[in-house]
A and B are shown apart, each in its own frame.
Chain A
């Protein structure tokens, strides 16, 4: 394999004012991704058309869909009822079709979706203990920490402790329910609309419904419009229980 010049002596790294420059170097990982894909297609594991279709699907997924969904449920009682009774139908009403891109969803986006309604005394949080099942049509691709065995193992055993690590401290009078996603069922949290948002538009409300709120590791709060950065923990075997 040819060695790429990491010192950059053979590459032009000129800057473009006001725009993000490209990485003007072919990386081994880029090459590996292409090589694997080509070999898989040649071996008939899937077709180039399959891959193109899934790439388009993946690239249009984004967490803003879930934020808009919850904001609408907060301001529109009819939509809220529909969302709680039939979340797939409510999704379709917003233009999000869980049957894409194959006509029956994907193996990662099976078409059973349920909204988990929080109350002042009940809080939900989602996980996939087996792998990393996630409501992708609503939330896009899962964050790295959601995929880690550490989160998957510990959230079901010590939910309050793990939520506290995310900065979410719940009082003892709030019941915590951890919902385990699987290949046949996906969940998303409908948080309680926070105080201080009276009279807000759907667009304003959607801004504070972050991805973390929809997973259940954060609560919506006026002024907070982004997810917190958090460290990743290695998977360890817990030696004590609380």
Chain B
């Protein structure tokens, strides 16, 4: 993997769909009158980034951060932070062939089903 490969032209429709639905923390927190400034998944995302950085080879730290800057600026411009950080990471992993998009879509569906069942 190179660190200068521009992945902004790679379309990831699974992520585009998530962006369109717009369930950002800002919006959800206002809706449910929650005052936490950041979403509850933020520390887990930070831990995932730290763990990837320690492993170091799959998505080197500077590649990850360069991708995040570029994706936030050029592709996921409507997303606030930290949603843009999360979606940019997903985009990097798909565009750099670490995670297959179909595999991601299937896992999203499975996780969604699990979580929705827990709240039923």
Chain A contact residues, CB within 8 Å of chain B = 1-2, 4, 6, 8, 13, 15, 20-40, 43, 45-46, 50-52, 54-55, 57-59, 102, 106-108, 130-132, 141, 144, 147, 149, 183, 234-235
The main secondary structure of chain A at its interface with chain B is loop
Is B29 interfacial (CB 8 A cutoff)?
yes
Expressed in whole angstroms, the Cα–Cα distance for A21 and B27 within the complex equals 15
In the complex formed, the residue of B with least CB distance to A232 is B81
Binary contact track B41-69/A, C-beta < 8 Å → 1, others 0: 10111111111111110100110011001
**Chain B residue at smallest Cβ distance from A27:** B23
A30 to B: closest C-beta gap in Å: 5
Number of A-B contacts (CB under 8 A): 169
Q: How far apart are the CA atoms of A46 and B55 in the complex, in Å?
A: 7
Partner of A55, one of B44, B53, B99: B44
Contacts of B34 in A (CB 8 A): 20-23
Contact A39 B65 (CB under 8 A): no
A132: which of B31, B65, B103 is its contact (CB, 8 Å)?
Answer: B65
Check if B109 is an interface residue, CB within 8 A of chain A: yes
With known contacts A27-B23, A38-B107, A45-B58, A54–B47 Cβ distance under 8 A: yes
Residues of chain B having any CB pair with chain A under 8 Å? 15, 17-18, 21, 23-25, 28-29, 31-36, 39-41, 43-56, 58, 61-62, 65-66, 69, 73, 81-83, 86-87, 89-90, 93, 98-99, 103-105, 107-113, 115-116, 119
Contact indicator B104/A23 (Cβ below 8 Å): no
Report A186 CB to chain B, min CB distance, Å.
14
Residues of the B chain whose Cβ atoms lie less than 8 Å from the Cβ of A1: 17, 105, 108-109, 112
Which residue on B lies nearest to A102, using beta carbons? Answer: B54
